[in-house]
Structure 1
Amino acid sequence: MKYNFMFFLLAFFTALSIGGIGVAVSEKSILIAAVSIILVIILMGAGFSLRKKLREQNQQ
């Protein structure tokens, strides 16, 4: 249950960051776009690494 909540939070904040890219395009703000893209990369990377860690624990 703990990991499901973590995955939910990662997905939620990733979706917000992707929405931030849309806001940045509409506002023509390079700063907001850059921060949003960096956040998307970090959050998605964290989600994939957490999933890999859980998969490795289940195999042992």
Structure 2
Amino acid sequence: MNQIKWPFLFLAILAAMAIMGIGVAIGERSLIGIFACILALVFVMGYGFKTKKKMRENGKL
């Protein structure tokens, strides 16, 4: 069985929390909250993809 990649698990949890935050912000009708959560989601996903590419290039993945 493969080992858990803890940084990726943490980033996945953060991304899921950002998606949930979008739903909560929609429910609260908060445009600032919606945009903040979308921005957080884009940042977390981008950082995750960048980290995965770097690890793949270094042969650690």
Q: Could you tell me the TM-score, scaled by structure 1's length?
A: 0.89
More helix by share: 1
Query: Residue 20 of structure 2 corresponds to which residue in structure 1?
Result: 19
Amino acid at match of 1:7: F
> Which segments of 5 or more consecutive residues in structure 2 lack a partner in the other structure?
none
Mapped partners of 1:53, 1:7: distance in 2: 13
Kindly, what percent of the aligned residue pairs are identical? 36
> Residues 3-51 of structure 1, C-alpha deviation per residue, up to 9 Å, x if partnerless?
8111011000110000000001111000110110000000000100010
Superposed structure 1 runs of 4+ greater than 2 Å apart? none
| Number of residue equivalences | 58
Amino acid at match of 2:44: L
Query: Residue 29 of structure 1 corresponds to which residue in structure 2?
Result: 30
CA RMSD of aligned residues (A): 1.7
